[in-house]
């Protein structure tokens, strides 16, 4: 079996896909998940291999762990909230921060400077990026994905992952990627070591809760805590299967 085939099966067989019986054939996976979903998984892998780690002082492993956890939470939340257009969520979750890889690969010194600024000043990554690079990872990612002719929903979900309230057309998908990003940080899977700690309070801000509720995500402190506990359980149980997909 080709290594990428076994990677795909690893993902498909993870608890996040909710298959009762594990499958060992790609054909079977295709039947169960549909072509679109499998295509998204393949696309995700091709992106990962496009960005090779040329440098040794950047924590790529941490970056991909954050991205993988985010993709799995997105998948889970898509099912949990029965969100429309669920099939793009895994992909968007996985590549939501690829703008950072662009910076790392093509503006390496500036990228390292932003990472240092995030840690020393305890500010948001986008803030440091605007300061040093004059643009943000989500803006660069949206441009790149446009160029690569990615589906419009994916581009929008990536572009708005820090501010889904600005997305007028694809709100629920953008909200899920936003929630997944925040939740992966709350679960300890941050993109940068020693970055500002993210707590549940980030989601309990009245403005955020109000926006979420208006868009059909009925969440309060109690239900958020419950959801985070379930997600933590899933991550713990699936750690070996999922976090090693890029090995
Ligand atoms: Fe981000
Ligand atoms: Fe992120």
Measure the CA–CA gap between 224 and 179, rounded to whole angstroms: 10
**Ligand number, closest to the Cα atom of 100:** 1
C-alpha 165 to ligand 1 mean position (Å) = 15
121-175: pLDDT as tens digits: 999 999 999 999 999 999 999 999 999 888 899 999 999 999 999 988 878 999 9
C-alpha 116 to ligand 1 mean position (Å) = 16
| Residue 177 pLDDT > 60 | yes
Those residues whose beta carbon sits under 5 angstroms from the ion ligand 2 are 97, 181
Structural tokens at position 223: 């239900």
pTM score, two decimals?
Answer: 0.86
C-alpha 228 to ligand 1 mean position (Å) = 20
Measure the CA–CA gap between 40 and 162, rounded to whole angstroms: 22
Q: Which residues contact 96 (CB under 8 A, 6 or more apart)?
A: 67, 70, 138, 141, 157, 158, 161, 177, 181
49-89: pLDDT as tens digits: 666 665 555 678 888 889 989 988 998 999 999 988 778 89
Q: In order of start, what are the domains of the chain with their CATH numbers?
A: 35-244 (1.10.3210.10)
């Amino acid at each position: 079996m080709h290594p990428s085939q076994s990677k795909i099966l690893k993902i498909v067989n993870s608890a996040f896909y909710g298959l009762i019986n594990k499958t060992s054939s790609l054909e079977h996976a295709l039947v169960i998940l549909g072509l679109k979903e499998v295509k998204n998984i393949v696309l995700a892998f091709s992106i990962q291999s496009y960005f090779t780690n040329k440098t040794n002082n950047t924590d790529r492993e941490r970056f991909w762990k954050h991205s993988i956890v985010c993709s799995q939470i997105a998948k889970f939340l898509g099912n949990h909230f029965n969100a429309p257009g669920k099939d793009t969520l895994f992909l968007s979750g996985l590549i939501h921060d690829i703008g950072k890889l662009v910076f790392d690969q093509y503006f390496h010194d500036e990228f390292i400077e932003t990472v240092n600024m995030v840690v020393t000043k305890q500010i948001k990554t986008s803030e440091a990026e605007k300061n040093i690079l004059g643009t943000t990872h989500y803006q660069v990612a949206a441009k790149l994905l446009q160029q690569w002719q990615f589906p419009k929903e994916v581009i929008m979900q990536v572009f708005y992952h820090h501010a889904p309230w600005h997305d007028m057309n694809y709100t629920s998908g953008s909200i899920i990627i936003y929630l997944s990003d925040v939740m992966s940080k709350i679960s300890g899977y941050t993109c940068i070591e020693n970055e500002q700690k993210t707590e549940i309070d980030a989601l309990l801000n009245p403005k955020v809760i109000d926006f979420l509720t208006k868009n059909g995500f009925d969440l309060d402190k109690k239900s958020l805590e419950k959801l985070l506990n379930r997600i933590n359980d899933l991550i713990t149980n699936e750690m070996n299967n999922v976090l090693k997909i890029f090995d």
